[in-house]
Amino acid sequence: MTLPPDLLIVDDTPQNIDVLSECLAGLQARIRAATTGEKALELAHRQPPDLILLDVMMPGIDGFETCRRLKADPATAEVPVIFVTARHDDVAEGFRAGGVDYLTKPIQPDEVRVRVHHQLERRALLRELQALNRQLEDKVRERTAELTLANHQLRQEVNERRYMQDRLNYLATHDFVTRLYNRNALDAHVSELLARVQRERVQAVFLLIDVDQFRLVNESCGCIAGDELLRSLADCLAGALGPRDFFARLGGDKFGIVSEEQLAEQSLALARRLHAHLAPFRFEWEQRSFSLSATIGVVPLDEDIVSFEQLMLRADETVYLAKQEGHGCSRLWRTHGLGVEDHRESINWPLVLLDALKQQHFQVHVQRLQRLQPPAPGQPGQGLRLETLLRLWDPQRQQMVLPGAFIPPAERFHVVQELDRWMLREVLRFLGHHRDLHGLIEQINLNLSAVTLREPGLAEEVLALLDTHAVPPRILCFELTETEAIVNVAVARGFMRTLSDRGCRFVLDDFGSGFASFAYLRELPFDAIKIDGQFVRDMDRDSTHATLVRSMVDMAHQLGKPVVAEWVENQDVADLLAAQGVEWAQGFHFHRPEPVTAERIRQWHG
């Protein structure tokens, strides 16, 4: 509801007040009156009006002084004042005193109403503008407060992002377990240092440290104990290093140290110092105490090394040769310390293997398995069982290289996964091309390394190959070796169950060669076991081995697993195995491996 305007008429003549009141009657305004300036000031201060019509000539204080006092009072400073005067000379003085308009006597009613209405409208608009300004100021204050809060939050976010960026940079260059530099950081540091070696001829060496007994602790006490051991070991080794030595963990149980301004002979002293720090080291876990040693390979950084990968090849080879001399040894890289031919083959194995894959120098050979027991009633017994074996053809020497020569370096240089996949593709391609053999072959075995087994997506890759070549999954059997411990049993179980559900089979290879055999038989869905040939080969002459074989056969049969014995080289061993109930035998006594061909498989079955 809008209130009527409040007008204050100030004049010392009551008749003038009446005339002005009559002129303003149509405005429906509330009109108050004062006959002196003092009374006007009192009324206006008590309740400020919307407009004052002020006579100039009055007793006491005149209109000009009254106006000046009104404007000096904050409560009435904004109230518009219209002077009423008979003298034109008063107009300028009135404006100087603070008036906004004037009326001349004698009064003209229309003029009074127009001027008053104009000032009231102006007053209303001014108040509306002031209200809008106040709202705007409130919004500005509110927005300023929001911006202040937003700026505070933004600063927090910026600080958090800076922290996260610093954290990410740290994680990108440091090992989570030991807090040392990681392999990426070592790669960057070595690459920069190799450039300096080329330009400035700086002296520096690289030490590769391989902890000898880490696997024992990790597998017997668990990965938590293994991580704690790595942390303690890193602290122990760091005590032997100088402030400028670059110390990193490469992964697993391997550490790397870059030491600048060191000659090759001086670096051996650093290796001896590391051994000395490790000698009294003891790792305590759940009332068990472990002592550890390390094998150290020392490689000087020279102009012949142009990449981090080349340096690591030299370091890996040096550690490998040092391990041949026993645990806890150090060895300095020396090209002339090896036989020329041995050095050429060992250091070039990664390139040899990769080139052989590209140039198809690998071949698939097979060896037949011999049945020693008649098939159980209702079970098929006429099909062939074969094991596929990988061979490498050396075109320079024109001779075949056996797996014992190239599998260890393939594992050391992480190429074995590529070999496993090549073998898988070639065998399934062969079976897909000769589909008439599907009815002749009961089972064909492929060896699979534990490293390959742990790769994600392997099961799906196998199933895709089976579908692509239309090979019945029942034919395919994977041999998983026990000597390469399956670190992640859950991954192995998932892989085996995925393929078992489609009909593939699994054999635990080298049974008896490691401490985890019986655990594997309980944890993983193997269809059969293969006894390690080192126990089988001389069991006719070694009673201890014969007893061990008998115990392993009994264990497998109690679990309902058929047994395969490998390395059978004479009839006496074959007879002993048959007498113990071994179902299958494999070895040179029955068949020497040969290249796989469809014609030979048909001959064997015929």
What's the CATH code of the domain at 198? Answer: 3.30.70.270
Kindly report, residue by residue over 471-487, the tens digit of the pLDDT: 999 999 999 875 444 55
Residues of the chain with pLDDT under 50: 336-347, 483-485, 515-516
DSSP states along 388-415: EEEEEEETTTTEEEPHHHHHHHHHHTT-
Which domain, by its residues, includes 188? 183-343
For residue 474, give every residue at least 6 positions away whose Cβ sits within 8 Å of its Cβ, in sequence order, or none.
443, 503, 504, 505
Residue 544 lies in a domain: yes
Q: Residues 428-458: pLDDT tens digits?
A: 999 999 999 999 999 999 998 877 887 888 9
Residue 370: the pLDDT is 94
The length of the chain in residues reads 606
Here the tokens at position 262 are 């060191």
Q: Are residue 288 and residue 336 in the same domain, yes or no?
A: yes
**One domain for residues 191 and 236:** yes
Instruction: Supply angle C-alpha 570, 576, 577, rounded to 5.
Output: 90
| Residue 176, in any domain of the structure | no
Q: What CATH number is associated with residue 452?
A: 3.20.20.450
Asked whether residue 152 is assigned to any structural domain, the reply reads: no
- Structurally, the chain folds into a number of domains equal to 3
pTM metric for this prediction: 0.51
Identify whether residues 97 and 64 lie together within a single domain: yes
Q: For residue range 341-353, list pLDDT tens digits in order.
A: 444 444 467 778 8
Residues 461, 451: Cα–Cα separation, whole Å: 16
> Are 335 and 391 part of one and the same domain?
no
**pLDDT tens, position by position, 298-340:** 998 888 888 888 888 888 888 877 877 767 788 888 754 333 3
Residues 455 and 577 in one domain: yes
Return d(Cα 603, Cα 599) in angstroms, integer: 6
Q: Indicate the residue among 95, 130, 165 that finishes a domain.
A: 130
Residue 225 and residue 191 share a domain: yes
Q: Between vectors from CA 389 to CA 387 and to CA 391, what angle results, nearest 5°?
A: 165
pLDDT tens column, 580-589: 999 999 999 9
DSSP string, 517-573: HHHHHHHS--SEEEE-HHHHTTTTT-HHHHHHHHHHHHHHHHTT--EEE----SHHH
Residues 52 and 113 in one domain: yes
367 and 505 together in one domain: yes
289 and 364 part of one domain? no
Residues 298 and 334 both lie in one domain: yes
> Is residue 601 situated within a structural domain?
yes
Instruction: Give a yes or no: residue 401 inside a domain.
Output: yes
Q: Which of 293, 327, 343 is the last residue of a domain?
A: 343
CATH number for the domain spanning 62: value is 3.40.50.2300
Whether residue 575 lies inside any domain: the answer is: yes
Strand residue runs (E) in 286-402? 288-291, 294-300, 330-332, 362-368, 370-371, 384-394, 399-401
SS3 367: strand
Q: Is residue 37 part of a domain?
A: yes
Q: Decide if 506 contacts 526 (C-beta within 8 A).
A: yes
Distance, in Å, from the CA atom of 325 to the CA atom of 338, rounded to the nearest integer, reads: 14
Is residue 357 a part of any domain in this protein?
Answer: yes
Shortest CA distance to 276 belongs to which of 249, 294, 299? 294
Query: Which of these three, 97, 114, 130, is where a domain ends?
Result: 130
Does residue 467 sit in the same domain as residue 482? Answer: yes
Same structural domain for residues 255 and 293?
yes
Largest distance between two CA atoms of the chain: 152
